[in-house]
Amino acid sequence: MSTAELYRSYKEKMQQIADVKYSAAVLQWDQETYLPPKGATARGRQLATLSEIAHKLFSDDKLGGLLNDLISKNDLNENEKRNVELTLEDYNRNKKYSSEFVRKLTEQVNRTFHSWIEARRKNSFSFFENDLSLLVALKKQETEILGYKVHPYNALLDEFEKGCTVEFLDKVFADLLPALKNILEKIRSKPQVDDSFLKKSFPKQQQWEWGIWLIKELHFDFDAGRQDMSEHPFTTSFGNEDVRITTRINESDFSSMTWSCIHEVGHALYEQGLPGDQYGLPLGEAASLGIHESQSRLWENNVGRSLHFWEHYFPVLQQKFPEQLSNISVVQFFKAINKSEPSLIRTEADELTYHFHVIIRYELERKLIEGSLNTKDIPVYWNERYENYLGTKSPDDLKGCLQDVHWSHGSFGYFPTYTLGSLFASQFFAAMRSEIPDINSKLKKGETKEILDWLRKNVHVFGRKYTSNELCQRISGKSLDSSFLVDHLLDKYSLIYNL
Amino acid sequence: MSTAELYRSYKEKMQQIADVKYSAAVLQWDQETYLPPKGATARGRQLATLSEIAHKLFSDDKLGGLLNDLISKNDLNENEKRNVELTLEDYNRNKKYSSEFVRKLTEQVNRTFHSWIEARRKNSFSFFENDLSLLVALKKQETEILGYKVHPYNALLDEFEKGCTVEFLDKVFADLLPALKNILEKIRSKPQVDDSFLKKSFPKQQQWEWGIWLIKELHFDFDAGRQDMSEHPFTTSFGNEDVRITTRINESDFSSMTWSCIHEVGHALYEQGLPGDQYGLPLGEAASLGIHESQSRLWENNVGRSLHFWEHYFPVLQQKFPEQLSNISVVQFFKAINKSEPSLIRTEADELTYHFHVIIRYELERKLIEGSLNTKDIPVYWNERYENYLGTKSPDDLKGCLQDVHWSHGSFGYFPTYTLGSLFASQFFAAMRSEIPDINSKLKKGETKEILDWLRKNVHVFGRKYTSNELCQRISGKSLDSSFLVDHLLDKYSLIYNL
């Protein structure tokens, strides 16, 4: 076979696998949005079958043969070569797992998830601990299966953020943590801002229409996507021309939906901007979880919580909710939506204190995987860290170490990508400002198209071609540097709290 | 392997195939309800891949081996034995198709569907004719591949209604046709009823809520299903605990949605009543298309267009639409919803004239497949038949021979099941009346649960265990007999038109 024929055959196999994975994604989307309650059992088995088929197709020795043939060819173009390299990496990684180990892990995840639900119902970590310890043992085994340099946790980090290591994160967080502590301390010495008007009653239907209007303003293509309701907001896609956002509405908290819409539309614009001709191939996929999160956070925080942005949109918002907002100034609004204070729940935390939550989970996971912390000791360790970093103390496990679903899914190494997202976002936004010098005056006019164009050109179009670190280098000329996020936060909170 | 092990292994394989088919059904449902326009291309390939995977799994020689091992075992129970027999039949039928023929047929269907769209746009059969003739040639080839007794069309009929033949249909329709003609002639000599109040404005949201309320009244289990909007109403299921109905709303025609809801809920109650422990196996599937249609028509026509039913529900309806219906009596309403007159479009035809449309298509298809009619001559033949049976003449092809999608999909042998559905419905309803003697007084009180229970016990619970003819024998003690439908229509129209 000629190289072109080999490549075509490789592409066909990958697209078939993508068809199955995207089909599973449709079933999952439906599960979160429209599935009737009794449909859950059959849906569970349908999803398991699709995932098994996708796994089987991706483990096929013929695909391995094709990849090994292709990798030695000299007449692939740059993008083709990159696709083959990345697929071979994924393929070899996938091949390391025995089907026995996959089965064991799947079963333990299933049990651990149910223990987590049970423990939450009983508000007691003890119902979760035993299954969690078994799952941690399997994750440790997984680090040995995958192999790693220096620290076993690196093997797990690599799955979500290629090239990310304990050494790297320790350094980044060591810079970030004292700077965040410093800002938080200053804020706590100042009078708190008033956000009570955000807790007035904002009717569901009006919020829904406002959300749809806003994400349209932010260039979400409704011909290539939708927004629906679900219990937890998320973005999913079945190809770059079918990208779906979900949201939820809290009638007595205006913030809840609006910034979740802006956050999700950031993810969605990334998905809609991925190259469609690379369907099923690595260059048609997102670069990493950290980069994905950078897109949502840039829109949510750097754009969507800025004074300039609301100078344009607040008058519109006031017209839609005159009763609730007519006596409020845009500066009052800007302050309220950026109110910062220590709290217990990560997903409800503000832009500043959020990262303490993430760093605590990172430190905890690293210790669990290296074996220096026992699952039994999680609640004590958790409370000690929260006391130390945020000066808060959870009244119970529900608001403490049982709050996140991630561990019960076996997702160790995922949390750090949330903070990486904010760090990349601020670093990219700084680079963007130097290339779009009048960005503030554009934001004041509600013009955000150039921001999207810049992200399309510098991030979206590449898919997985570059790692997050390579992308960061290309965009800003340097590796990840926490000072961009710190500067962004300092600027914002100085304005709000007169630091 | 023991018989129990063999059977378990067969069941697992079948359930895996069902998982893939139901997954495809979820993707199709989404395509008709929520898919954004640009998502159609990727969705097309995702569906093609799932269908290819399901076909491959069902053609697996290992499955064939299992089935042939199992069929010779004496220690299967009655239901297990029936499952194996039916699956082996399906398997052997499926195996007759070469992948080359399947590819050719799929491609020709695809082309013919597009020609049909084009021909409809141009309102000219000539744009459809060439592809249709190629498709008919392939369908003739298919009859040879499948094999048949007496008439080639029997091979195609068998796919939708097992055991149904040209000889059988000719006999049934020969009885039915003169009786229907006779009723229609009598009606046409009488003054027409007034249904103008059904064409007043009925707001969308109110109709939607009324439809949901009504199907709940008719025992649709919303914990095991949903109703959504789509361009064409349909019912689909992803297992008996996830059954989905769709509907559409015409604000200036009250009939459009209400009886489509009742019709679809008939299909849906059947799906929800199929035995869940037979998931993926023949005994978990509907008996035939004719039986499926009998369930929808029994609820739509025998129940949902009866005077007794509306004696209970019309007052409720009047309360929901006082402006439109307050001056109307239940008898006026009953007459209006049963108005009968010849018309051009099958899907809009009333309960009586509907069958002329079906019989014309049946006669036409039979002639095409036996080769006594050329596709070129369809428009002339069509108009001559409509003139003869209904005294109508289509002004163009759009309202004539281009109106139905079925032929463009290659579905020859499907249409007769619509009339079979009405015939079974009336025959079953007559049997039901003799077992629930006070059924009229129950209907007058809005009590329909016993009707559902009877259908569950006599039809739903068996899945595909019996053919439609066997079911009919069990229920009524005799084969299909058109006099039950004729009597039902005579009773109803005598009341309305004083025949």
Going by C-alpha positions, the residue among A124, A94, A128, A98 that lies closest to residue A111 is A128
Chain A closest-CA separation from residue B158 CA (Å): 30
Amino acid code (one letter) for A326 = S
The reported pLDDT for the residue numbered B196 is 97
Give me the active site residues of A, please.
264
Task: Tell me whether A38 touches chain B (CB under 8 Å).
Answer: yes
CB contact under 8 A, A223 and B16: no
Q: What residues of chain B lie within 8 A of the CB of A242, using their CB? A: 35-36, 38-39, 42-43
- Residue of A49, A272, A279 to mutate, testing the B interface (most B Cβ within 10 Å of its Cβ): A49
Mean pLDDT of the residues in chain A: 96
DSSP state of A176: H
Chain A closest-CA separation from residue B287 CA (Å): 21
In this predicted structure, the answer to whether residue B464 has a pLDDT above a threshold of 90 is yes
Chain A closest-CA separation from residue B430 CA (Å): 34
Q: Which of A47-51, A414-418, B263-267, B283-287 has the least mean pLDDT?
A: A47-51
Question: Structural domains in chain A?
Answer: 3-153 (1.20.58), 154-499 (1.10.1370.30)
DSSP state of A274: S
Task: Tell me whether B279 touches chain A (CB under 8 Å).
Answer: yes
Going by C-alpha positions, the residue among B386, B84, B170, B23 that lies closest to residue A52 is B23
What would the pLDDT profile of B194-243 be if each residue is shown by its tens digit?
Answer: 999 999 999 999 999 999 999 999 999 999 999 999 989 999 999 999 99
The reported pLDDT for the residue numbered B437 is 87
Mean pLDDT of A433-447: 95
Q: How confident is the model at residue B191 (pLDDT cuts 50, 70, 90)?
A: very high
What pairs with residue B227 in β-bridges? Answer: B245
Q: How far is CA A369 from CA A143, A166, A168, B213, in A?
A: 9, 11, 17, 54
What would the pLDDT profile of A268-296 be if each residue is shown by its tens digit?
Answer: 999 999 999 999 999 999 999 999 999 99
Task: Tell me whether A41 touches chain B (CB under 8 Å).
Answer: yes
DSSP code string of A193-227: PP-GGGGS---HHHHHHHHHHHHHHTT--GGGEEE
The reported pLDDT for the residue numbered B381 is 97
CB contact under 8 A, A49 and B238: no
Mean pLDDT of A473-488: 97
- Closest by Cβ to B242, choosing from A36, A50, A241: A36
* Alpha-carbon gap, residue A253 to A305, rounded angstroms: 16
pTM of this structure: 0.95
Q: Which of A10-14, B94-98, B167-171 has the least mean pLDDT?
A: B94-98
In this predicted structure, the answer to whether residue B99 has a pLDDT above a threshold of 90 is no
Structure tokens at A52: 């098994």
Q: What residues of chain A lie within 8 A of the CB of B275, using their CB? A: none
CB contact under 8 A, B26 and A27: yes
CB A267 within 8 A of CB A227: no
Mark whether B264 is an active-site residue: yes
What would the pLDDT profile of B360-416 be if each residue is shown by its tens digit?
Answer: 999 999 999 999 999 999 999 999 999 999 999 999 999 999 999 999 999 999 999
CB A302 within 8 A of CB A351: no
Alpha helices in B274-375 (DSSP H): 289-297, 307-320, 322-325, 330-336, 354-370
In this predicted structure, the answer to whether residue A99 has a pLDDT above a threshold of 90 is no
ipTM of the complex: 0.94
The two most distant CA atoms of chain A are separated, in Å, by: 73
What would the pLDDT profile of B412-456 be if each residue is shown by its tens digit?
Answer: 999 999 999 999 999 999 999 999 989 999 999 999 999 999 999
* Alpha-carbon gap, residue B336 to B181, rounded angstroms: 21
In terms of CA atoms, which chain B residue is nearest residue A42? B239
What would the pLDDT profile of A150-168 be if each residue is shown by its tens digit?
Answer: 999 999 999 999 999 999 9
Structure tokens at A31: 């599960």
Q: What residues of chain A lie within 8 A of the CB of B279, using their CB? A: 42
pLDDT-above-70 percentage for chain B: 100
What would the pLDDT profile of B12-39 be if each residue is shown by its tens digit?
Answer: 999 999 999 999 999 999 999 999 999 9
CB B248 within 8 A of CB B257: yes
Q: What residues of chain B lie within 8 A of the CB of A241, using their CB? A: 36, 38-39, 41-42
DSSP state of B499: -
Mean pLDDT of B278-307: 98
What would the pLDDT profile of B111-157 be if each residue is shown by its tens digit?
Answer: 999 999 999 999 999 999 999 999 999 999 999 999 999 999 999 99
What burial class does residue B29 get, using C-beta atoms within 10 Å of its C-beta: 0-12 exposed, 13-18 middle, 19+ buried?
buried
The reported pLDDT for the residue numbered B63 is 98
* Alpha-carbon gap, residue B9 to B21, rounded angstroms: 19
Q: What residues of chain B lie within 8 A of the CB of A226, using their CB? A: 34, 36
Question: Which residues are within 8 A (CB) of B349 and not within 5 positions of it... i.e. 6 or more apart?
Answer: B343, B356, B357
CB A38 within 8 A of CB B238: no
* Alpha-carbon gap, residue A122 to A412, rounded angstroms: 24
Q: Which residue has the higher pLDDT, A312 or B103?
A: A312
The reported pLDDT for the residue numbered B262 is 98
- Residue of A230, A241, A272, A278 to mutate, testing the B interface (most B Cβ within 10 Å of its Cβ): A241
What would the pLDDT profile of A383-427 be if each residue is shown by its tens digit?
Answer: 999 999 999 999 999 999 999 999 999 999 999 999 999 999 999
CB contact under 8 A, B228 and A34: yes
Q: How far is CA A497 from CA A185, A485, A489, B84, in A?
A: 12, 18, 11, 75
* Alpha-carbon gap, residue B321 to B210, rounded angstroms: 10
Q: How confident is the model at residue A188 (pLDDT cuts 50, 70, 90)?
A: very high
How many Cα atoms within 13 Å fall on the side-chain side of residue B54?
19
In this predicted structure, the answer to whether residue A437 has a pLDDT above a threshold of 90 is no
The reported pLDDT for the residue numbered A297 is 98
CB contact under 8 A, B223 and A36: yes
Chain B closest-CA separation from residue A433 CA (Å): 33
Query: Choosing from B80, B142, B161, B264, which is the catalytic residue?
Result: B264
Task: Tell me whether B27 touches chain A (CB under 8 Å).
Answer: yes
Task: Tell me whether B277 touches chain A (CB under 8 Å).
Answer: no
Q: What residues of chain B lie within 8 A of the CB of A20, using their CB? A: 49-50, 53
- Closest by Cβ to B23, choosing from A35, A46, A279: A46
